[in-house]
Copies of this chain bind each other. A is one copy, B any other.
């Protein structure tokens, strides 16, 4: 059996290696249009930033290693230009010489990845305007920096993963950085109130943010500087521009084979990563995947799922029953010491899909016991089904322990777990690592309190018409007052119930929600109509 694999990075390389482990006798050819296979594109921003000093460390496995250890024939600088699915051949072009050659296959695996979006904006082609997609891209940026040591003004266009990581790394290298983003928020997978915090982090580190700004053109000055023009009429002048406008599935080759695409524009595959052609599989950023939380088809350009898909395609080719279980969109980014991570569906995705069976909570637990020095706040949003408590998604940020809590929640989502599972999770606890009631447990407990109707909740933005009752201490209110709130400290509440109306809903607020919960319990049991404002003053402050 002869298997040709187009694309030698995450999905393709995983598929090739797995296939060899399953079949010593298969003929395996892996084709890569760039000069390198199996390189760490997730590390490129950090190589530009100098944190990963040595380019060679980005090259995880060389063509030589594939030959020596896996007996896989690797052809770099080779582009697949057309597929004849009927003849079962693929036309390969040597990028260096331009010569083409037909390669036959029994099974073909497409792992072409995604291509950087590059809109036809006037002036976009210029030696000081860069993408960050490949090792040569990173090398070019580093070369530019060496040649232009005085050029310290950068404009990054696009506030996704790569854009933000580039922002951090450019700041790290002493650049003044402006970030332009078309949307009104950075990090599109986040709900907007969560993205606000990320934007604050960026501003605190001197990054100029221009949200809702569309680039209309690039004007090249004689000095070498670039004027970045926006549709709103603003001009940002830079020495260097980084384009990080996102990616789209590379489906040119798939189209040449007549393969079906999905509604989101990716290659359509089944659970075994097989395309609409029986002998062609596709994996990685180019394919459309199933979101296991929402059930919707989606695109997700991340290395973890790509690797899994590569393995599954190899299994399928060898007749094994492995199936791709879909994605849940777990992701993480580090920015200036703050970690932002999420998993599952966002509130806005659920709203976009017309889902109504969900509730959300905000909480601000410590990453480890408060009594042990160095406790940091984890700011969490948990989204769960009202009907049965199934966890739908979570978003969190903080300085420590964010990855761990999101991973716990991701694992529960994978297993169809509920907020009741989360409140009971038995997690690692010693004072320097967590709390007897871990941050993750707190999220589960609060959500379960809501679902058991022990704690009806309200959200700041949807709070209308209620009496707002602030149960914090006077000193706290002096430090930060919530406007239009009645003030009764929790400890006086039982004695002062007569001051509150029985005929009006009371929305209780405190610092983070814990005392408001107690107050809500007192009020409910005394015949009042009461709700807890989820996340308290902390949530209000983050949103405004």
List residues of A whose CB falls within 8 A of some B CB. 10, 20-25, 40, 42-43, 46, 51-53, 57-58, 60, 68-71, 161, 165, 302-308, 325, 327-334, 339, 341, 343, 369-373, 403-404, 406-408, 410-412, 414-415, 417, 421, 424-434, 436-438, 440-441, 454, 490-491, 494, 515, 517-518, 521-522, 525-526
Asked if residues A428 and B415 are in contact (CB atoms below 8 Å), the reply is no
Q: Inside 8 A of A407's CB, which chain B residues have their CB?
A: 404, 407-408, 425, 427-428, 440
Asked if residues A428 and B369 are in contact (CB atoms below 8 Å), the reply is no
A370 to B70, CA, bound (A): 21
A88 to B53, CA, bound (A): 73
Asked if residues B40 and A431 are in contact (CB atoms below 8 Å), the reply is yes
Q: Inside 8 A of A438's CB, which chain B residues have their CB?
A: 304
Q: Which residue on B lies nearest to A68, using beta carbons?
A: B491
Q: Which residue on B lies nearest to A430, using beta carbons?
A: B332
Q: Inside 8 A of A40's CB, which chain B residues have their CB?
A: 369, 371, 431
Q: Which residue on B lies nearest to A515, using beta carbons?
A: B69
Q: Inside 8 A of A60's CB, which chain B residues have their CB?
A: 371
Asked if residues A412 and B410 are in contact (CB atoms below 8 Å), the reply is no
| Given A22-B521, A68-B491, 16 extra CB contacts under 8 A | A21-B454, A22-B454, A24-B526, A40-B431, A52-B371, A52-B431, A57-B370, A68-B490, A304-B436, A332-B428, A332-B429, A343-B428, A403-B404, A407-B425, A408-B408, A410-B427
Q: Please tell me which one of the listed residues B437, B440, B525 contacts residue A24 in the complex, with CB atoms under 8 A apart.
A: B525
Asked if residues A431 and B46 are in contact (CB atoms below 8 Å), the reply is yes
Asked if residues B433 and A403 are in contact (CB atoms below 8 Å), the reply is yes
Q: Inside 8 A of A404's CB, which chain B residues have their CB?
A: 403-404, 407
Asked if residues B522 and A372 are in contact (CB atoms below 8 Å), the reply is no
Q: Please tell me which one of the listed residues B24, B70, B406, B427 contacts residue A330 in the complex, with CB atoms under 8 A apart.
A: B427
Q: Please tell me which one of the listed residues B304, B412, B428, B526 contacts residue A331 in the complex, with CB atoms under 8 A apart.
A: B428
